[in-house]
Amino acid sequence: MLEDWLRRLREASKTRAVLVEGKRDRQALLRYGIKNVFTLEGKRFADLPELLEGFSEVILLFDLDSHGERINSKVKALLSSQGYILIEDLREELRSLGIKFVEDIDGKGADAGFPFEL
């Protein structure tokens, strides 16, 4: 259920960075109280370690389309080589919820009877 997924992500984001593709993804997550959300938009992959300074764990939350899969693969290779602990299970759970694009959690959340306590 999306509500459970959002609660787990909200809790995990208190101490971990959440990395998404673009600003609409970030805005959707911020509306649900997700913390520490960073976007790739306008940044070079090589700049990610500087962007994520202060975090040792990163939640990868890229879209589940072919573009998102390519980005996930590249970012995963770069950050794992830099010693980051990468968390991908929340991304995979989106697939089972029928959500392909992170920004679409807004529509799914509204259908699920939100808002709920943050």
Give the SS3 label for residue 94.
helix
For the cut 60, the answer to whether the pLDDT of residue 69 exceeds it is: yes
If pLDDT is split at 50, 70 and 90, which confidence band does 108 have? Answer: low
CA distance 23 to 67: 16
Q: How many residues does the chain have?
A: 118
For the cut 70, the answer to whether the pLDDT of residue 110 exceeds it is: no
Select from 30, 60, 66, 25 the least CA-distant residue to 45.
60
Which pTM was predicted? 0.88
Looking at the DSSP bridge assignments, the partners of residue 15 are none
Confidence (pLDDT) at 1:
87
Query: pLDDT over 90 for what percent of the chain?
Result: 86
Interval 14-48: pLDDT, tens: 999 999 999 999 999 999 999 999 999 989 999 99
For residue 11, how many other CB atoms are within 10 A of its CB? 12
Average pLDDT, the chain: 90
Which residue ranges form the domains of the chain, and what is each CATH number? 2-107 (3.40.1360.10)
